Structure 1
Amino acid sequence: MAVKALFALYPLLQGDFRAVEKALSALEASGVAYRVFPTHTELSGEEEGVFQALKAAYLAAAEEGGTVLWALLTNACETRDPFRQPERLARFPPLEIARKALEGLEARSALDLGTGTGVFAEAFARLGLFAVGVDPRADRLEVARARVPGARFLEGRAEELPFPEGSFDLAFFGLSLHHLDPLPALREAARVAWRVAVLEWPHREEGVGPPLERRFTPEALAALFQQALGSPPRLWQEAGYLLALWERGGGGTLGEDQELPQGL
């Protein structure tokens, strides 16, 4: 099993960095992937390798005297990214869906709401757009930043977006609206973007995806747009998904000389 360890090492003799240097040398020799931050170090890899690397780092540091090691272990770095499993990508092909969401829109920017590990943000970036992903989960955003260096990622909630009105050409919900409070999320999306696109699971019982009570019928999804935004969307029903598009009076563009949204 793949795990991540967040740890900090403290020599009891304050100001003596030899213990830290020895610990880092031991980590480098272990071959386990690690990153050093100002406050802690992160290790990631297979469980046994991570444990052995922590042990080696501690023993190397302890050669310099009394040492305290604090560590937190988690499986948050699971290498089987659930958003990028082949069967899921085959059913919801990111580039194909991104192109459908952008059809007829002269777009330069896209906001991916509920981005997860950045699957659709990556698709928009590959199509040449300035892409931003928003998600409330910092662990998923960490993966997204590592996987998609061509996009920007921000921790936040779709119901309260930190962007000015009209910041983006497209706001996209990729299988995420059913996790949110849909009315404020749709209103916020329409506030910051010219077009709103919602990708959702079809309304049927399946062994994967959300339970039936969390899925939208086409009629229910159209009614949400009507209630939140005052008019219904265009709907596409494919064999494996439902796509809704709504826009407000034409597509604005993000000019090349326009400042990026604050905080990115």
Structure 2
Amino acid sequence: MSAEHPGLDPRVEDWVATVYHYWRRRGLSDPDRAQLRADLERDCRLALAEGATIDELTDADPDEFARELAEAAGLGYGVLRADPSMTATSFLVSALVGAVAGCIASLLLIYPIGTRLLDHLPLTDAGEGVFAIGLHVVAACACTASAMGALRWRFRFHVGILRTTLLAGLFLLLGGAVSVAPTMALAASLGYSTAAHVVLQELGIVFAFCLSGLLTAFWIGTRPSRPTRVDESTAAPSR
């Protein structure tokens, strides 16, 4: 940070981030939010330099203060949109709902088109096997993309959600890939039976590995990236 633009106290930074969060939830555009934030940070520096205390700066209600700044800049201030908390349960449920939607889309679109192509393409047995594997990969990617979309949309106001969403997609694919070996081993040990209980066991293995991948992504994506810079004895309570 340059001397011309010194860093703000972490408590002020947190408060500015909260105000920015309300601008997002109220529907202000990215350029408008960026300009308002830059102006607010500049004003905070000036106020601190003139003798204002941190408590005086952060005492205002952040939502109301965000509205006043937006209206002063001639910007509309929309309805406050929902911001659900991201717990392990809500994270998993959102991802799995998205994945199920992707599976349905694959069954209705990808597999019918793929099997029709397979029937008309002059492929050898080996070529058909490669084509079938590719078809499964495309379907898996569609399910993963749908799960990522569900996470990105539901938790769109959370800081770092893009990184967490990308991690979820990565570990979901890794979990599915790792599940192939034990699933095939089980299938081989049971003579590749198509009995309902065998298929359910195989699906259970895939589900367990994918679930583990999502939990890993949640843990990595939500853990603090660095220690807080504020001593606990002086930190202001979060708003």
Same fold? TM cut 0.5: no
Bigger share in strand: 1
Bigger CA radius of gyration = 2
Bigger share in helix: 2
TM-score of the aligned structures, taking structure 1 as reference length: 0.26
TM-score of the aligned structures, taking structure 2 as reference length: 0.28
